[in-house]
Structure 1
Amino acid sequence: MDLKIITPEFSIESREVAKMVGKRHSNLVRDIDIYIEYLLNSELSSAKYFVESSYKDKSGKTNKCYLITKMGCEMIANKLTGQKGVVFTASYVDKFNKMERKIEKPKFEIPQTFSEALRLAADAIDENRRLKPAADYTYKILANKGLETVSVIAKNYGMSSIKFNKLLHDLGIQFKQGGVWYLYAKYQDKGYTHTEPFEYPDTNGNKKLNNTMKWTQKGQKFLYDFLKAKGILPIIEMKVTQ
């Protein structure tokens, strides 16, 4: 994969793109969410176009945004017509051409002293430690093709299943009915969960059936991205940020 596709140095932040196209940032983020959903359903990689990120506003609140690649800008430009489309296309092409020229310049400076070499090595180790937990957790999600119970996911966040379920309810993701958790309508039919029956004995020892909701690989990735945008990280990542 071309690293320029996913690095911040070779992308434009969605807030800047929103200004360029004269659109509210929240509306642009909503449109990108739809584009990504279409790409996921077609099994195409959305990372070639949009990479989810975040920023803090003046009040310190963490908000969702996207890093948009050149291909992502092309997708947005295709939705525009007339002068607005022409001006935006010219603007983002100019920006990416400047980025390419800047990236082509050598960034690495050979250390001149032993202490500089040690500092460079230490910085590289720190950066690797910073990035590795998030990569490991995402890999763990993607490597698990099966269904996962909420208790296992909750444990990754250092919570009980009761507390985690309540959190997802408070965030408007799920609701409880008849003792079973279900996703709200906006998250249904997206392949995030699977409800299956399980057998249990009642107080008299009679066999009973009830349903339980489990999370798919796609659903686990959704939870990770959703919670991360809210500043809620799995334990493995919290240890690094603390």
Structure 2
Amino acid sequence: MNNLVIMKNQQAVTTSLQIAEAFGKQHKDVLEAIRDKMSTAENSALFKMFYEDTYVAVNGKRNRMYYMNRDGFTFLAMGFTGKKADEFKLKYIEAFNQMEAQIKIDTKNLSPELQMFKGLFDSLAKQELATNKIEAKVDNISEIVALNITDWRKDSRALINKIAQAQGGYGAYKEIQNAIYTELERRGKVNLKTRQTNKRRRMADEGVCKSTRDKLSKLDVINDDNKLIEIYTAIVKEFAIKYGVWNEEH
């Protein structure tokens, strides 16, 4: 795949069409993601990251095409997950670095907003590199946190506790746990609340007492599905890396 990043108006940019092709997405879905971010933006700097420039024919239809600079790509690509997505993020990082090395941008002359997003991009790049280093060292999440069929809950909880402590203490635990559940539902295409309700109904039909049914947690629901366990533990690992609670003992 060529020309991930090009020069336009003296800055390194890529396009919504190129992003769609690289990440294996429909162009209309990439456009929708960009428009969603722009529609909710309160900071005018975001509108400098994405800008329309032309129309292109996609699947026989005339579509807008957005150009985006490095910061726009970073802001958009943070929502793309998975191993293949990580590989392309790194390719883009390298392409932007090579292109920008040619024009030698003095970041001190950037606006405070762009300097902030450049810092965000640099942080993302370091995170991606760290993730790939870990992936090369181990084959799966069970090796990383010693998770198995009996210990995955305990080991995951220990990591989430470390994340919460790093984010301000016990009060952050619930917020982080809910964020992990939300990401699990997105990746697993499942509604944990619905499964929880359905399982409580089945338990009631089986004569299980109400107090026991009320104690049924989302983790109990996850425990019934090995695929959900795999996704959940992978997300916990990613959060541990993201919040910097990783160390060599893992």
Global fold match (TM > 0.5):
no
TM-score by length of 2: 0.35
Which is richer in strand?
1
TM-score by length of 1: 0.36
